[in-house]
Amino acid sequence: MAAETLVEVWRGAFLESFHQGHAVIIGPDGEIEASWGNPDEIILPRSACKMIQALPLVRSGLDLSTEQMALACASHQGAAIHTDRVGQWLADMGLHDDDLRCGSQEPADIPARDDLIRAGESPCQIHNNCSGKHAGFLMLNKHIGGSPEYVDPDHPLQRQVRAAFEDSCAEESPGFGIDGCSAPNFATSLAGLARAAQGFAVADTDSAEGRLRDAMMAHPELVAGEGRACTHLMRAMNGRGAIKTGAEGVFLGILPGTGHGVALKISDGTTRASNAVMAALLVRLGALEDADPTAQAFARAPLPNRRGIEAARLNAVPSLFGAAGSA
């Protein structure tokens, strides 16, 4: 099945561009409730699966705060609220920035970036948006006595991650790619990723899945940061869901109130489109009101010109909001 048009950009009366992709909703019974495009599309989930990658850490029995669990699931902005906590986490383990294997990255947070420039300093690995996930990897690696190269696909830690990933998705992964942070990213079908999200949605609060889900909802500012869809939409849901974006147009949604799991992939990898589709599906599933300003800001986003005048609008297609998708 081919990708479907999920987002349109209108400039006045003209359809200027559109974004196609695939989306799947798994219902509380564990079956596909609605889909657009191809639910069997094989994708790399990128950072949308970080809560799955964190399952071996939480299942290890190590003492973790809810903030640490949220950071293990995060693609953060490199703001002080993120780097201070990751830095302290490393220090508490007797480890340092050099022990990370994610690589350095300029902070997306403008104040943090400007502070580095003013100080004449270069970004460190803790500024990497994946440093929380990697701090979690290091904590588990220290616990199991693994070698320093914990991102090697054959490392015992990554073998645990793959096993957790395949178990959550209920299918064998056909392989992996190396992510931007150097860790292996295991492929799955879009339906498999949505199935994993649904498992998190219905998990007990004291399970590893439930603890990670609840930590994300408790600390939306740590999962992403100011200006990011994950943070703003989770705040607007106010405990009704946990969501996580991934690079190249992937987005995952966990809705514990209704027992739904959501996964989507925009074919051209555009974040503005994945944000719009996720916001629309959250409206469809009752996690957000259609009139909620945050839902509107992403699902029906105004596109202002240089003078601040709304010159165009990005709209998720109507079927995403509630008309039946192809089941």
Helix, strand, coil percent values for the chain (each to nearest 5): 45, 20, 35
Q: How far apart, in whole angstroms, are the C-alpha atoms of residue 82 and residue 175?
A: 31
Number of CB atoms found within 10 A of residue 56's CB: 24
Bridge partner list, 303: 312
- Phi first, then psi: what are they for 268, rounded to 5°? -90, 5
Q: How far apart, in whole angstroms, are the C-alpha atoms of residue 223 and residue 188?
A: 23
Return all residues near 303 (Cβ < 8 A) that are at least 6 apart: 9, 310, 311, 312, 313, 314
pLDDT at residue 322, as a whole number:
87
Q: Is residue 164 part of a domain?
A: yes
- pTM for the structure as a whole: 0.96
E strand or H helix at 118: helix 110-119
- Which domain covers residue 306, as residue numbers? 4-321
Q: Is residue 100 part of a domain?
A: yes
pLDDT at 325 over 70: no
Contact 19, 268 (CB under 8 A): yes
Which residue's structure tokens are 């809705």? 255
Q: Taking residues 137-154, report their average pLDDT.
A: 98
Q: What is the domain count for the chain?
A: 1
Can you read off the two tokens belonging to residue 299?
């699902």
Give pLDDT tens digits for 162-197.
999 999 999 999 999 999 999 999 999 999 999 999
Q: Is residue 291 part of a domain?
A: yes
Q: Is residue 27 part of a domain?
A: yes
Q: Is residue 104 part of a domain?
A: yes
pLDDT at residue 323, as a whole number:
52
Q: Is residue 155 part of a domain?
A: yes
**Whole-number Cα distances in Å, 11 to 16, 85, 307:** 6, 43, 16
Q: How far apart, in whole angstroms, are the C-alpha atoms of residue 268 and residue 286?
A: 28
pLDDT at 327 over 60: no
pLDDT at residue 1, as a whole number:
84
Kindly report the CATH number assigned to the domain that includes residue 199: 3.40.710
pLDDT at 241 over 80: yes
pLDDT at residue 248, as a whole number:
98
pLDDT at residue 227, as a whole number:
94
72-111 b/e with 16+ CB inside 10 Å = b? bbbbbbbbebbbebbbebbeeeebebebbbbeebebbbee
Which of 297, 292, 296, 286 lies closest to 28, judged by CA? 286
User: Which percentage of the chain shows pLDDT scores above 90?
Assistant: 98
Q: Taking residues 207-233, report their average pLDDT.
A: 98
Q: Is residue 327 part of a domain?
A: no
Q: How far apart, in whole angstroms, are the C-alpha atoms of residue 170 and residue 217?
A: 25
pLDDT at residue 27, as a whole number:
98
User: Which percentage of the chain shows pLDDT scores above 70?
Assistant: 98
- Mean pLDDT value across the chain: 97
Contact 154, 176 (CB under 8 A): no
Q: Which residue has the higher pLDDT, 247 or 325?
A: 247
pLDDT at 324 over 90: no
Q: Taking residues 37-62, report their average pLDDT.
A: 98
Q: Is residue 85 part of a domain?
A: yes
Length of the chain equals 327
